[in-house]
Amino acid sequence: MRSPVVPEAVSRPTLEAVATRAGVSRATVSRVVNGGYGVRESLAERVRRAVAELGYVPNQAARSLVTKRHDAVAVVIAEPEARVFTDPFFALQLRGISKELTAHDNQLVLLLTEGRDDHTRVARYLAGGHVDGALVFSLHLDDPLPGLIHDAGVPTVFGGRPGWRDRTGTPLYVDTDNRGGARTAVRHLAGLGRTRIAHITGALDQTSAVDRLDGYRDVMAETADGGGDPSLVVESDFTPAGGERAMRELLDRRPDVDAVFAANDLTALGALRVLRERGLRVPEDVAVVGFDDMLPLAEQSDPPLTTVRQDIEQMGRLMARLLLRGASALRDGSTGSGREGTSGPGGGDPAARTPGPGVILPTTLIRRESA
Amino acid sequence: MRSPVVPEAVSRPTLEAVATRAGVSRATVSRVVNGGYGVRESLAERVRRAVAELGYVPNQAARSLVTKRHDAVAVVIAEPEARVFTDPFFALQLRGISKELTAHDNQLVLLLTEGRDDHTRVARYLAGGHVDGALVFSLHLDDPLPGLIHDAGVPTVFGGRPGWRDRTGTPLYVDTDNRGGARTAVRHLAGLGRTRIAHITGALDQTSAVDRLDGYRDVMAETADGGGDPSLVVESDFTPAGGERAMRELLDRRPDVDAVFAANDLTALGALRVLRERGLRVPEDVAVVGFDDMLPLAEQSDPPLTTVRQDIEQMGRLMARLLLRGASALRDGSTGSGREGTSGPGGGDPAARTPGPGVILPTTLIRRESA
DNA sequence: ATGAAAGCGCTAACAC
DNA sequence: GTGTTAGCGCTTTCAT
């Protein structure tokens, strides 16, 4: 049986061919193709027609060879666990990144890693100068990859606040306002008159989980109660099963709990299930708030989940924007603009805060029926 | 618009530099770097040391310029709807693809599209010869993109059976045995003694939904009943909400239904919810079978879902393998090996069937409690 | 405003 | 075996 894909090594037209056809030099064609400044309009028009007729597309390899640019960005997702693939988080970020890169004519090179071997592979690839920059998701505090990449000298923006301590120079990153969002959630619960508000944490080797826990503590500390009762905090791992386990433990330990702030929606779902199973009503007996606003799950849970929404796609967009922007800033010779720290780099996102090298996106409380 | 680009990294060492350092010619270094055949071992060793000392990494652009190869594959995901981002389907495929490509030292260029503009963009990119091949997911029958890509003359493998009719030459593709899986599901239900087995379809503009419906009909036709009662088939769309709607309609129309084969797990979940709401017991009153084995959802539904498992990651792997295989066959100048049609292209997947240009992966029925 | 010419870093003939 | 050399297709001074 013949191979269904026909090779057709049709040699594609070159600049030279276009030049000949238009009766000009290669240099002129090149100018037109790259913006066309400084070329008489009549000529430019001739060239454009030749390009169209020949179906000319620039050879990116040849171009890169001389410009040392690639118009390509690597997206590195380091996640040994399969969690990445279990929630739409990562897909939404990719979507945002993709849109932004596309808008700037950049390609997205996806690097998925799991395990040590991949680390060196990725580090080498990035150090190899095949892309103009990297967007890196560092999910775990102990992951060595982000550090390796940072050291590789490639312009990089991180997704989520990286958790290093011992390194000099915090890298650029974009993150959700996890701490602020957590505060909002807990304040909402307090505003409902709840006094024994528990927290089921996420995996504490991730900054997002730590930050949400901190936000919870912030509010509990303010509380009249004198807050921060450790028996109200149960460590978990962002999964539904973990949420169930934690909720059971919590109920056993503190049967008087009247509200739960879960580190994410998946966890909240697990908690909801246990609450129902124990015959407790939500929100009457126990109010529940999640985090993420993961659709359609959050909407269709029973009862529909009150939760803290984060705009994940926007996070991706901003990461890409920041990388592209930073790159040009560097090229302009600026030593690191003083403006970047004060105005949002989004250029259209007044709501985003930028403390130091990080861009923090705001959250919104979505009220449904669970609290 | 070109992005305002990147800083010049420290100029990295070239072949020339390595050659000088090792006291040999560029050609020799090139030979060593590309496998080292036909080079005296003592020399090769000198070269390797020089490479290591200088931290030399080949310039891919320069290499591509002459070899016309890129060691890169595009993955095109065309999905106007957000469904892609709501289930882990794509993430898993990507994982499989990524693993396979990595094993063959290929890069993954991700092309996400939504809408017309992106079509031309993607088609141009692929036609531009920037990658060695493309892996394309064509979800909807009426999507023009797969056709455009097919016409672009780039070696391509499709994910899921493409639904074209009017074109000559079916393209290579990898798919799950949707029809066979559906038959298994329905036979299982029949084996349970159910006689009024309904089917909630997926979005019928996707081949997977059509194939599952066909599988359902296959079995119903065999059935003593004289099967194929149209009132037992409700059209839906693969979503939980759609599943709810369909289940309500079904119950209204056929209160006597005693089993449901849902086109996927999400749909089954919606159906389960309605069944519970109407006070019907699962599986006692109505047995339910899903499709996908989407974890952890399928495991943690109430009751845990009996479903048809498909190995999505493996699908991705095979797509990549098939493409790379074809690509190397092309490079080898072979006119297309006669073996490809009869032995699985997986080279290690005896279970995969290959009818014509398609590779069909087997499914497994996972028995839990809903049927 | 336009063209001529010099490479970018690499591979692949071809010569030795 | 190893070196020499001629480009791959493009951008970019530098003349004109």
Q: At the fourth CATH level, which superfamily is domain A72-175+313-360?
A: Response regulator (3.40.50.2300)
Question: Residue B174 pLDDT > 50, yes or no?
Answer: yes
Give, in order, the Cα–Cα distances in Å from A223 to each of A159, A218, A289, B6.
32, 9, 18, 50
Residue A343: predicted pLDDT: 36
Residue A5 pLDDT > 70: no
Say whether B6 and A155 touch across the interface (CB within 8 A).
Answer: yes
Which part of chain A has CATH 3.40.50.2300? Answer: 72-175+313-360, 178-309
| Cα pseudo-dihedral A337, A339, A345, A349, rounded to 10 | 180
Q: Which residues of chain A make contact with B87, given a CB cutoff of 8 A?
A: 88
Tell me the C-alpha distance between B287 and A293, whole Å. Answer: 32
**Please, what is the average pLDDT of chain B?**
86
Tokens 């079978």 -> residue: B289
Sign of CA dihedral A113, A115, A116, A117: negative
CATH code at B15-67: 1.10.260.40
Ranges for all domains in chain B classified under CATH 1.10.260.40: 15-67
Q: Is there a contact between A71 and B5 if contact means CB atoms under 8 Å apart?
A: yes
Interface of A with B in 266-285 (CB under 8 A): 273
Evaluate the omega torsion of the peptide bond into residue A240 and state whether it is cis, within 30 degrees of 0.
Answer: no
Whether residue A347 has pLDDT greater than 60 = no
A327: nearest Cα among B111, B112, B2: B2
Q: Is A110 on the interface with B (CB under 8 A)?
A: yes
Residue A142 pLDDT level (bands cut at 50, 70, 90): confident
Q: Round to whole Å and give the CA distance between A333 and A318.
A: 22
Chain C positions under 7 Å from a protein CB?
1-5, 7-13
Query: In the CATH scheme, what architecture does the domain B178-309 have?
Result: 3-Layer(aba) Sandwich (3.40)
Q: pLDDT (tens digit, 9 = 90+) per residue, A187-244?
A: 999 999 999 999 999 999 999 999 999 999 999 998 866 667 999 999 999 989 999 9
Of the ranges A132-136, A168-172, A358-362, B94-98, which one carries the lowest mean pLDDT score? A168-172
DSSP for A58-76 reads: --HHHHHHHH----EEEEE
Considering only A183-187, A250-254, B163-167, B271-275, which range has the smallest mean pLDDT? B163-167
In tens, the pLDDT along B93-151 reads: 999 999 999 999 999 999 999 877 888 889 989 988 899 999 998 778 888 888 888 87
List the structure tokens of B134.
């493309």
Q: Which stretch of A299-303, A351-355, B223-227 has the lowest confidence by average pLDDT?
A: A351-355
CB less than 7 Å from strand C: which protein residues?
A: A 23-28, 31, 38-40, 43-44, 62, 65-66; B 11, 14-16, 26-27, 30, 33-34, 56, 58-59, 62-63, 65-67
Which A residues in the span 296-355 are in contact with B, Cβ-Cβ below 8 Å?
296, 300, 302, 324, 327-328, 330-331
Question: DSSP letter string over A157-185?
Answer: EEES-----SSSSPPEEEEE-HHHHHHHH
Cβ of residue B156 closer than 8 Å to a chain A Cβ: yes
Helix (H) or strand (E) holding B361, with range, is strand B358-361
Q: What is d(CA A75, CA B16) in angstroms, rounded to the nearest whole number?
A: 31
